[in-house]
Amino acid sequence: MSPKGKPEGKKGTTPRRQDRQPSEGFNGLCRDCKDRFTCSDAKPLGGVWHCEKYR
């Protein structure tokens, strides 16, 4: 923990939530979305960077 009580990560990054593990083969928000395996939305190679269904 930092002196301000925040979890420490790499400088300039935010630590990931522990219940989300990134998946290979997904880019952008899909990489750690809880619905990534059942979602029927298009997943372009460059990744999805705005999604109203992201969880």
**pLDDT attached to residue 21:** 60
Does the residue 4 lie in any domain? Answer: no
Does the residue 5 lie in any domain? Answer: no
* Alpha helices, H only, 1-55: none
* Domains identified in the chain, total number: 1
Does the residue 3 lie in any domain? Answer: no
pLDDT in tens, 5-19: 655 555 655 555 445
27 or 1: which carries more pLDDT confidence?
27
Question: For residues 47 and 17, what is the distance between their CA atoms, to the nearest angstrom?
Answer: 20
Does the residue 12 lie in any domain? Answer: no
Whole-model pTM: value is 0.51
Task: Give the alpha-carbon dihedral of 2, 10, 18, 47, to 10 degrees.
Answer: 140
Does the residue 40 lie in any domain? Answer: yes
43 or 2: which carries more pLDDT confidence?
43
Question: For residues 2 and 47, what is the distance between their CA atoms, to the nearest angstrom?
Answer: 32
Could you tell me the residue range of the domain that residue 47 belongs to?
A: 18-55
CB 23 within 8 A of CB 39: no
